[in-house]
Structures are given as C-alpha cells and as structure tokens.
Amino acid sequence: MKKSLVALASGAFALGAAEFIMMGILPQTARAMQVSIPQAGHFISAYAIGVCMGTLILVFGRKVPPKRLILLFLALIVMGNTFSALSTSAGMLIAARFIAGLPHGAFFGTAAYIAKLSAEPGKEAQAMAVTITGQTLANMLGVPGGTMLAQYLSWRAAFAFLALWGAATIVLTLRWIPNLPAVPDTGLRGQFHFLKRRGPWAILLAVFTGNAGIFCWWSYVSPWLSHVGEWSSGAVSLLMMLAGFGMVVGGIAGGALSDRWRHAGSAALGQFIAFVGLLMVFAIPGSKLSTAILTFWVAFGLFFVSTPQQMLMVEAGQGGGELIGGATIQIAFNFGNAVGSSIGGAALSASAMNYHYPALAGAPLALIAVLLLVWYSHRLETETDAIHRLEEVKV
C-alpha cells in the first residue's frame, strides 16, 4: 500500500469520526451547554452546513496544488475540533462544528483526485477505497471510542483527541503525499462545465435518494436494535462496531469490483443490496440474530457504493472539474442523510413509533437510486475499458 493512501485514510478517519461522534455524545454536550436535546441537534446540523459551504474552498482554490489543499483542510480539522473541545457556550460550539465541517466534502474530493493519480494502472478504484476505509474505520472504532471517552472522561476529550489526530496527519501528509500538479485551470465557470451533462446529475440524484432511503432507517438504528432486537444499551454499542465492520468490508469489496467492472453497475449492485436489506428490516418480525445480520447487511451496502460513485464523479469532472465532482458526492450524501432522517421520523410518528416503518419509507427511495444507476450504466457505460485490463497468459 502506498504511504500517501495511508495519510489520506488518516484524514478521512478524523473527518468520519468528527461527523458522527456528536450523535453519541449529544446528551453530555446538551447538559454542558445548558440546552435541550432538540436544541443540541444544531450541533449536528452545523457540521452538515459546513460540509456544503466548504466546497467553495475548491472553487476559489482551483490553482492550488492538491497537497497544499489537503494541508489546509487538515488545519481546519485541527482548528474546528480544538474550538469544539474549548467551547463554553452553545453558540461557540455551533461555530466550531461549522468550521470542523468545512473541509469534509472538499477533502474527499481532493483525496479522490490524489488517490486516482497515485494508483497503479487498473487499481484506481481500490486506491480510492483505501482512502474511504478511513471513514468506515471511524464508524467502527472512532465513534464508539469517542463515546467511551465522553462517558469516562469528558466529551471535550473526544474532540481533543480528533484535534491531535488531525495534527499527526499533517505530519504524515508532509512526508508521504507527493507534490502533484493542480487540476487544469478552466476558469471559474469551467469547473462546473461537466454539470451541463445529464450523467453527473443522475449520479448525484442516485447518491441523494440512496442515502435518504437508507438513513430513513439508519438514523433510528439504535432504538430499532433496542425495541425490535431487544438488545441492551451496552450491546447496541458493540453492534454499531459490527456495522462499522460491515462498512469497511463493503467499501473494500466495492472498490475491488469497480476495478474489474462498470463503476455505475457496481454502485447499482451495492445499492440493491441495501434496498433488499431495508425490505427485510420491515418484513422480518425481528430477533437478536436477525437484527445483528441486517445491521451488518445494510451497512455493507451503504459503503459498497462509495468508491464507484466517487470514481464516477471524478471521471465526470475531467478537464478541470475533478475536485468539484468529488466534493459534490459528499454534499449529496449529507443532504440525503438530513432528508432521510426527517422522512424516517415522520414514518415513526405516523406508525405510533413502530420501528419497522422507517425502513418501509426508505425502500422506495433506495429503489429509485438503483434504477438511476442501472440507467446510467446501460446508457452511458457501454465501454468499460475492462478489455484493456485483461492480462495475457501464454501457455
């Protein structure tokens, strides 16, 4: 494995943990900031807003070499999490979370570009999958670890740890990431030229609907495990680590398949796996065994699609829009999460808190994503270039 990919994965770990850790320490931060749980939800939404706004960094930093951009994003990670750890009021914590979210989408867009250029021929998707693995490991280890720090030390310790992790990643970046040239400068408008085609919009809509469908249910996975699977609170934490493991395996599998087959076809397969999982969540009454299997199943599908979708957008933006293309995936992802959570909450209310129904509400959205990806693969991926990657064997 190239050392540059390790540095990128380390940065992805910090961002993945920073994004989701608030969900595990929300009660402690609400008490410390003297706000209610619903008001503390702004600590989560502030990060998501930062993700969307941070893409502007790429718009105006198009002439900056990618390594310098990564260093800028890591500095923002350190700053945002340091301010989070030192926050003394709800307003200060909201501002700190906004800063911490600024580099998220821009980092992944730039990291995807670096991974693609640094990879060996025919292994671009696997290189990108290694980078994304940092985010999945954050869900498997970083979020539970941060929750434990909040329980046994302080919620501030969790953010302090992420700030230190970001600082260490700056050192790795300086030593291991090569000095690659900036993307071709096509001007301010030229970066968005690729969005004039229908293909990129189909991918972004698939990302949005797919994640909205999954997060209809995933947003409430913890109470689903407690009420349907009758797991204890301590066991739920372990099952979330199982989900994180599913994300890791799914991300690696999706990257491996994308190097051997169509990118959109690979994403469609992963999205279909998640769609079937949602149907089973609704249809199966639920037991400890079934809920554990389905938690792994849907998590596997959720990140199986990440690498092929990232590859599609980086390739769609070739000619000056590579970084913007990679970053838009994260915007669509986070927007889908927010919408899915709202739809899932409405389904819970309408069903008198029946935790099977958020999955039913999300299934049609996940199916739309499958159909969009199948359409894209059928109409726009007729030449997969796979024939050129076959190895000649002489007997």
Q: Write the DSSP assignment of 24-45 as a string of letters.
A: HHHHHHHHHHT--HHHHTHHHH
d(CA 324, CA 316): 10
Q: Which positions ≥6 away from 120 have C-beta within 8 Å?
A: 127
Q: Centre a 10 Å sphere on the Cβ of residue 172 and count the other Cβ atoms it contains.
A: 18
Instruction: Look at the chain and count its residues.
Output: 395
- What is the predicted pLDDT for the residue at 111? 87
Number of continuous H segments (helices) and E segments (strands) in the chain? 18, 0
- What is the predicted pLDDT for the residue at 319? 65
With beta carbons less than 8 A apart as the criterion, state whether 184 and 320 touch. yes
* 352 burial type by CB count under 10 A (0-12 exposed, 13-18 middle, 19+ buried): exposed
- What is the predicted pLDDT for the residue at 389? 46
Within its chain, how far is the Cα of 329 from the centroid?
9
- What is the predicted pLDDT for the residue at 188? 67
d(CA 359, CA 282): 6
For the chain, list residues with pLDDT below 50: 384-390
- What is the predicted pLDDT for the residue at 306? 83
- What is the predicted pLDDT for the residue at 386? 46
- Residue in 170, 56, 46 with CA at minimum distance from that of residue 99: 46
Tokens 């498997």 belong to 140
Within its chain, how far is the Cα of 83 from the centroid?
23
- What is the predicted pLDDT for the residue at 392? 59
